[in-house]
Amino acid sequence: MEVRDIDAVKAEVEQTSSRILEIMALKGKVDDAGAMTSPCANYDSSEKVYRARHPWSVYQVPVAEVEKSMDRLRAGLPEKGWAIVMAGVDGSVAKSPQIVAESKGKEFAVDLRLLDERKYGDDPSLIEVTVESSCYRSE
């Protein structure tokens, strides 16, 4: 397993998020707390095996524009070297549209979900995005 600097991996995950935002071509407010690390499952904490995660969303956009953005992602991700491994609906009661994709070398994965205000009441429509790195060993 590759040994990586934590800050470098977090920066790469954030750069990957920026490229996904470009594909979305969605003008709205971006909620972005920045990338963080978490231990990888199936590893003992003493092994220092982590992944970087970057959860963010784009909101305050009409639902029709959010739906068009999901269409752009379905078409644009494969053009940019991503393999879509799931495109359908998630397991929530609202059956939110979801796309899960992996980068060509499987260095990154992305989970995109359209949360539709018509199904969630007062909350505005948004696209919820989580970009994750593959697991790596910290220095």
Phi/psi for 93 (5° steps) reads -60, -35
Q: Which of 138, 86, 106 is nearest to 16 (CA)?
A: 106
Tokens 């799931």 belong to residue: 86
Residues of the chain with pLDDT > 90, as a percent, come to 61
Q: Which of 139, 133, 129 is nearest to 31 (CA)?
A: 129
**Is the pTM higher than 0.85?**
yes
pLDDT at 81: 94
Mean pLDDT within 25-40: 90
Q: Is the pLDDT of residue 41 over 80?
A: yes
Q: Which of 85, 88, 74, 92 is nearest to 108 (CA)?
A: 85
90-122 per-position pLDDT tens digit: 988 888 899 999 999 889 999 999 987 766 666
Phi/psi for 7 (5° steps) reads -65, -35
The residues, any chain, with a CB within 8 Å of residue 32's CB and separated by 6 or more, are 17, 54, 56
